[in-house]
A and B are shown apart, each in its own frame.
Chain A
Amino acid sequence: MRLKLVFSLVRGLFSGTSLKDLFKFGQSEGDEKKKKRSLIRKAGGGAGKVLLFLLILMALASYLFMFGLTFNTYEVLGQVLGFGPGLSLSFCSFISFIMLLVFSFMMSIDMLFKGRDLAMLRTMPLTDAEITVSRVIAMYLYMLPLHMIMAVPAVVIYLLYNPFCGATIPGILISVLVLPLVPVCLAALLGALTAKIGGKGPGRLVMQLTLIIVIVVLFSLLQMGKLSNLDPTEAASLEEYSQMGGALGFVASNLESILRVAPMLRWNASLMGSGALTGSLLAVGTTLVLCALCVWGVSSMFYGICSSMESEGKGRSHRAAVEPVYRRSSQLRALLGREWYILRSSSSFMIEIIGESLVPVLILVMWGAMGMLGQMTSGLVGMQGALYFPLIVCGILLLVQGLDMVSATSVSRQGKLFYTDRVFPVDYRVLINAKLLMHLTLAFAPNVLYTIAVTVLFGLGIWDMLWIILVNFIFAVGMCYLGLSLDYTKPNLTWKNPQQAVKNNLNGLKSMGLCAATVLITGGVCVLLILKVDYWPCYIWVPAALTGILVLARRFAMKAASERLC
């Protein structure tokens, strides 16, 4: 294994992406007259950048705060209930383990066996192990930010409650940097096994999705078994609190039993406080052995999988009749069909989008694991009678919908074939409408289902439901335009690995930040209205504000699209 080579391979995978790009507007292709930009526009762009930066920071801060709060509960409970110190860190490692396992499994097959650079790399004097290790490292680096969002608050909470000693720093470093290797390597192995066993394209995709759902469901079952002890309908506040403590205790003990399966997640954190390095050494040792085994497994299958991928799916399509069908449809329908085609053309895109519709379920499960679901439901049920209750439900649904990146990556997904949109005699508004329809099917339609489910669950009125659906619709259209304006302004069209068009696409992140900020600000005004005036103006304010944003976003999208397309 030539490590230097491996690192240059990793660098190759990341070339062209840097954090700096997050705040860079305009395009890299250089085919636009950027030189002629006026000073005023530059200044405006600067203010926009700062604003965007602040909004993303705000969204990030709210996530960090949410995690911090939860870890705080765990650390206190762990110490009170006698689980020893460091439960916050163990719990963080556990939650992150599940999240990273799911998300890195989603990307594993594309990342490992499908990059366009592989055809070239495989003809070079590189060993399969070297290529595999470079890909696994890249997966790890992709996952690290997600892990950080959880690990940073956990470390802060740990330091607040535990004395500092010699083992603290190595312990923290291990929690932050070494432990996330475990789920990534496991996911790589799972991905390789799926690719090996799953057979050709569609079968493999089904298997991949099934595995993801199995992981999520297993994980939820583990938690729900314990949570069902909590009966949220009892309203007495004192009882409720003791019950909540009990529920969290259950979750904690449950956690202990789960962590026995992956003990390195616990050893490090629990033994850190004792000042001895045994825990850390044990954790690092087991992690490295496990990862080495996984990577060895993947690299031994690498050649076979790559070769079979190379020869698959190239031939007569079975479904197409021998007699070709010629059916005419409108431009809009043809373009919508193309959007679907692009989505289906890469399992990476498919999984990303289906993963996104799974996000609400994942979030629910996360909350369940954190004991927050009980807290939430009892809280919500307590508020159920309140007149502003539909507003809260609506806000949550909007937040969930805001996580969708269908539109914010839709131009990038077109990749090097984007130029055809400039050649076709199609008005850019038709192209935008096709993408809007796509967005509505993928992001808004599931949301209607969630709305109906929530309505039934909490017994909301039909008018409330219709209002929530209306607001969600306005939001969906607005956020679609916003995502499109981001992605038309600076698309990533030169990707070699489809992963880069979605996961690695900063426009998705920007759009999520902006969506979260929109909901938070609109909601903030609602809180003020409820406190100072009454609840009912909110029912007018929310759709009005979101419509305003829609109109603005539409203008941006049209401008960005017309500039990029003609």
Chain B
Amino acid sequence: MRRVRAGTVQGILIEGEMRYLSTMITINNVTKTYGNQPSPAVDKLCLEIGEGQIFGFLGPNGAGKSTTIKMIVGILKQDSGTITVEGLDNVKDPVAVKSLIGFVPDEPNLYEKMTAVKYLNFVADIYGVSEAQRKERIEKYAKLFEIDRNLPDELSSFSHGMKQKIAVIAAILHDPKIIILDEPMVGLDPRSSFILKELLSKLAKEGKTVFFSTHVMEVAERLCDRIAIINKGKLVTQGTLEEIKAMKGEENATLEKLFLELTGSDDVLTEAAEEGREEEI
């Protein structure tokens, strides 16, 4: 049943694509299996992410979100399939692809004994950011995230959320065309997570492409132009929220409900439903 529907999604996708001027990231039939795992972590995944979109990448734990993102940014190499970024192949032209991307990993692993400024300077050197630009951007974003007073401190003294903010600043320091974030809201306090959401919207309005994974439905619902849901390495559905709702025939459903329906095994859901009924009785 679901498979037939997934087929229709593909059809909608092709139409949907027409709305955008150009595709920024194309993931074509990509498969990745970890050496010690029997089944692929990402299985024949196809995705197109248009320029200027905020693209939400949804899926339960272990669905393959981080694996997909790691392949796009170059941490992992796909076993088969192609990934192109602005027409550039990520295997043939890795350095060019990487300089287009700013990446925020799921864990803010930073050089703990550097001060925040030193770390940001190092990243700016790697991406070739001029002195004037780095000064302007570091000061601007540090003020935005309210950590400007902590810039001269050693990163080991930062809390998880503060490190996450530094990782975000480091990722947008070179004004990349594409910003890729892996579960960026984890560990941020409500205020900071609001600031980050605003920032991502603003960047998208400026024409940047934002691609991020999350399992916070509220964020995806509010922020994203398009959504893709994967489960067990396979694409379940993609489209705008309205398209997905229309496709499921549930115009009034929340994204959470759709997500649970699309990613849960049917047994669990029916069981839960039955339990609910029993309680009612």
Contacts of A317 in B (CB 8 A): 115, 152-154
**Distance of A35 from chain B, by nearest CB (Å):** 8
Report how far A566 CA is from B76 CA in the complex, Å. Answer: 8
Q: Which residue of chain B lies nearest to A415 when distances are taken between CB atoms in the complex?
A: B109
> Chain B: which residue is nearest A321 at the CB level?
B152
Q: A316 touching B152 by the CB < 8 A rule?
A: yes
Which one of B103, B114, B128, B153 lies within 8 Å of A423 (CB-CB)?
B103
Partner of B98, one of A316, A321, A423: A423
One digit per residue, 1 when the CB lies within 8 angstroms of any chain A CB and 0 when it does not, for chain B 16-36 equals 000000000000000000111
Task: Please pick, from A320, A335, A417, the residue contacting B109 in the complex, using a CB distance under 8 A.
Answer: A417
The verdict on B113 contacting chain A, using a C-beta distance below 8 Å, is: yes
Q: Is A228 an interface residue (CB 8 A)?
A: no
Q: Please give me the residue from chain A that is nearest to B127 by CB atom.
A: A425
Are A426 and B36 in contact (CB-based, < 8 A)?
Answer: no
- Tell which of A25-33, A67-75, A460-468, A514-522 binds the partner: A25-33
Contact between chains at A426 and B95 (CB < 8 Å): yes
Q: Are A315 and B157 in contact (CB under 8 A)?
A: yes
Knowing A419-B75, A566-B74 are in contact, say whether A315-B131 is a contact too (CB < 8 A). Answer: no
CA distance A335 to B126 in the complex (A): 8
How many A-B residue pairs have C-beta atoms within 8 angstroms? Tell me. Answer: 111
Complex contacts, B91 vs chain A, CB 8 Å: 566
Binds A, one of B117-125, B194-202, B203-211, B223-231: B117-125
Does B113 contact A341, Cβ atoms closer than 8 Å? yes
Which of B77, B79, B95 is the one whose CB lies under 8 Å from A425?
A: B95
Q: Mark A198-220, 1 if CB is under 8 A from B, else 0.
A: 00000000000000000000000
Least CB distance from A335 to B in Å reads 8
Considering the complex, which residues of chain B in the window 125-159 have a beta carbon less than 8 Å from any beta carbon of chain A?
125-131, 134-135, 138, 151-154, 156-157
Residues of A close to B124: CB separation below 8 A? 326, 328
Q: How far is the CA of A424 from the CA of B102 in the complex (A)?
A: 9
Q: Which residue of A lies closest to B110 (CB)?
A: A417
State the CA gap A422–B72 with chains docked (Å).
Answer: 11
Residues of chain A contacted by B157 (CB below 8 angstroms): 314-315
Partner of A416, one of B109, B128, B138, B152: B109
Q: Is A11 an interface residue (CB 8 A)?
A: no
Of the candidates B95, B134, B152, B154, which one forms a contact with A313 in the assembled complex, judged by CB atoms under 8 Å apart? B154
Q: Does A324 contact B (CB under 8 A)?
A: yes
Query: Is B35 a contact partner of A34 (Cβ separation < 8 A)?
Result: yes
A330 sits at the interface (CB 8 A)? yes
Interface size on A, residues (CB 8 A): 42
A534 at the interface (CB under 8 A from B): no
CB distance from B61 to the nearest CB of A (A): 20
Contacting B126 at CB < 8 Å: which of A324, A325, A425? A425
A555 interface residue (CB < 8 Å to B): no
Q: How far is the CA of A417 from the CA of B94 in the complex (A)?
A: 19
Residues of A with C-beta under 8 A to B138? 324, 326
Shortest CB-to-CB span from A494 to chain B, Å, is 13
Q: Does A333 contact B (CB under 8 A)?
A: yes
- Asked if B241 is an interface residue, CB under 8 A from chain A, the answer is no
Query: Which residues of chain A from 150 to 164 have a CB within 8 Å of any chain B CB?
Result: none
- Does any Cβ of B come within 8 Å of A334's Cβ? yes
Q: Given the interface contacts A317-B152, A345-B112, does A338 sit within 8 Å of B98 by beta carbon?
A: no
A537 within 8 A of B: no
A21 is an interface residue with CB less than 8 A from chain B = no
Check B117 against A320 for contact (C-beta < 8 Å): yes
Is A278 at the interface (CB under 8 A from chain B)?
A: no
Is the pair B77, A566 in contact by a Cβ cutoff of 8 Å?
yes
A331-B35 in contact (CB<8A): no
Smallest CB–CB gap between A360 and chain B, Å?
A: 30
> Smallest distance from the beta carbon of A66 to chain B beta carbons, Å?
41
Q: Interface code A313-352, partner B: CB below 8 Å = 1, 0 otherwise? A: 1111100111011111111011101100110110000000
- A39 CB, nearest partner CB in chain B, Å: 19
Give the residues in chain B near A427, CB-CB below 8 Å: 95
For chain A, residues 422 to 445, give those with C-beta under 8 angstroms from any C-beta of chain B: 422-427
A342–B112 Cα distance when bound, in Å, is 10
Give which listed residue, A33, A324, A341, A566, contacts B151 with CB less than 8 A.
A324
User: How far, in Å, is A332 (CB) from chain B's closest CB?
Assistant: 10
Binding site for A on B (CB under 8 A): 34-37, 73-77, 79, 91, 94-99, 101, 103, 105, 109-115, 117-118, 121-122, 124-131, 134-135, 138, 151-154, 156-157
Can you name 26 A-B pairs with beta carbons within 8 Å?
A31-B34, A313-B113, A314-B154, A316-B152, A317-B115, A317-B154, A326-B117, A326-B138, A327-B131, A328-B125, A330-B125, A335-B126, A341-B113, A341-B114, A419-B105, A420-B109, A422-B75, A423-B73, A423-B74, A423-B101, A423-B103, A424-B126, A424-B127, A425-B96, A425-B98, A425-B127
10 nearest CB pairs, A to B: A30-B35, A334-B125, A425-B99, A425-B98, A324-B117, A314-B157, A326-B135, A320-B152, A566-B94, A328-B131
